[in-house]
């Protein structure tokens, strides 16, 4: 439903950000765009969402060409959502999608309140100025707004940055539930480590291209990371070393299961 065809993009002529790049998203899967700082991750989301127009190529959403921001069809959570907070209280801020959809203010606030409390925000926070919240709390408010808008596609720019373990767990659970609803999820990240359990489809921006990483082989994934100048996640390095010895491990598990698996494989190998 999100498709980029043969995109070329540059902000100015001396630096090409994308060159003849194509991408197609799959429903119910998590797509992760990795890349070094300045490689074009945010630009990629901006193009897919219709904030930026490619110099060449086409962007489609649900079979229709994207010519302007698809704000009524998809949610785009920028890396610093506070840029977009404009209401005086958290509750008013998070209710705007429902008001936008035609609910009256009181109904919208009642429903939104439920969601905010369920997201783990204490009740007294609902009447605070959203700008006074911590980074993780702000992101929770933005996530609730995005859930309420009920869109089919979700774009998140570096959703884990600046979050502690707890905050990351909230984001992971939320991602899991929207993936189960069959939505398309596109995120950018500097690191892959937090996302293995969600069986992501992984892409790396390298040399103005988007390279898909085949995670069915840790060894081949390791090579793609190396070629792109990005430090491979520890799990892929371990998987590659084992694969080199003819041993296979499943990369898509929790940290705990992964360690147990490695231990098992090594014990079997040793004896
Ligand atoms: N509005 C802009 N005008 C000119 N150059 C830009 C603009 N926005 C981003 N860039 C440049 O484009 C490149 C990609 O930026 P960006 O997509 O923000 O990278 P990332 O999100 O991967 O850090 C960077 O070199 C950045 O400096
Ligand atoms: Mg960025």
pLDDT at 79 > cutoff 80: no
128 CA → ligand 2 middle, Å: 28
Please write the tens of the pLDDT for every residue from 213-228: 999 999 999 999 999 9
22 CA → ligand 2 middle, Å: 19
Number of the ligand closest to the Cα of 159: 2
Binned at pLDDT 50, 70 and 90, residue 83 comes out as low
Cβ distance 8 to 16 under 8 Å?
yes
Place of tokens 């598990």: 253
| Burial (CB count <10 Å: 0-12, 13-18, 19+), residue 250 | exposed
pLDDT at 98 > cutoff 70: yes
Please write the tens of the pLDDT for every residue from 150-179: 788 999 999 898 888 888 888 898 899 889
As a whole number of angstroms, the distance between CA 233 and CA 242 comes to 15
Helices (H), 194-233: 218-227
Among 103, 173, 176, CA closest to 140: 173
Give the global pTM: 0.87
Beta strands in 64-152 (DSSP E): 64-65, 74-77
Mean per-residue pLDDT, 58-87 = 84
- Ligand 1 neighbour 39 (Cβ under 6 A): yes
Architecture of domain 2-230: 3-Layer(aba) Sandwich (3.40)
Please write the tens of the pLDDT for every residue from 114-149: 999 988 889 999 999 988 888 778 878 888 887 887
Q: How close are the terminal C-alpha atoms of the chain, in Å?
A: 50
pLDDT at 3 > cutoff 70: yes
Mean pLDDT of the chain: 91
pLDDT at 104 > cutoff 90: yes
The better pLDDT of the pair 56, 130 is held by: 56
pLDDT at 1: 87
- Measuring from atom 5 of ligand 1, which residue has the nearest CA? 11
Binned at pLDDT 50, 70 and 90, residue 82 comes out as low
Please write the tens of the pLDDT for every residue from 182-203: 999 999 999 999 999 999 999 9
pLDDT at 9: 98
Number of the ligand closest to the Cα of 12: 1
pLDDT at 110: 95
Residues of the chain with CATH 3.40.50.300: 2-230
DSSP letters spanning 18-46: EEEEEEE--TT-EEEEE--TTSSHHHHHH
Binned at pLDDT 50, 70 and 90, residue 84 comes out as low
Place of tokens 């060894």: 219
270 CA → ligand 2 middle, Å: 45
Indicate the SS3 state at residue 104: coil
Task: Say what percent of the chain tops pLDDT 90.
Answer: 69
């Amino acid at each position: 439903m999100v498709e980029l065809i043969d995109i070329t993009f540059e902000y100015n002529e001396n630096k090409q950000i994308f060159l003849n790049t194509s991408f197609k998203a799959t429903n119910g899967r998590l797509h992760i765009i990795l890349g070094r700082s300045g490689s074009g991750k945010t630009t990629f989301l901006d193009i897919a969402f219709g904030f930026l127009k490619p110099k060449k190529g086409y962007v489609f959403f649900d079979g229709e060409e994207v010519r302007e921001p698809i704000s009524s069809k998809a949610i785009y959570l920028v890396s610093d959502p506070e840029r977009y907070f404009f209401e005086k209280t958290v509750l008013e801020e998070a209710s705007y999608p429902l008001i936008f959809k035609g609910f009256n203010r009181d109904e919208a606030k009642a429903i939104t309140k439920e969601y905010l409390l369920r997201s783990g925000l204490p009740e007294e926070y609902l009447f605070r100025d959203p700008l006074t919240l911590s980074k993780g709390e702000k992101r929770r408010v933005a996530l609730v707004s995005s859930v309420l808008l009920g869109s089919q596609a979700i774009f998140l720019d570096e959703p884990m940055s600046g979050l502690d373990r707890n905050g990351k767990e909230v984001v992971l659970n939320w991602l899991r539930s929207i993936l189960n609803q069959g939505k398309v999820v596109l995120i950018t990240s500097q690191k892959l480590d937090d996302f293995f359990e969600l069986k992501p489809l992984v892409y790396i921006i390298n040399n103005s291209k988007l390279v898909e990483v085949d995670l069915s082989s840790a060894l081949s994934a390791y090579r793609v990371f190396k070629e792109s100048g990005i430090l491979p996640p520890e799990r892929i390095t371990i998987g590659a070393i084992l694969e080199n010895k003819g041993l296979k491990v499943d990369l898509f598990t929790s940290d705990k299961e992964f360690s147990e698996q490695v231990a098992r494989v090594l014990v079997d190998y040793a004896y």
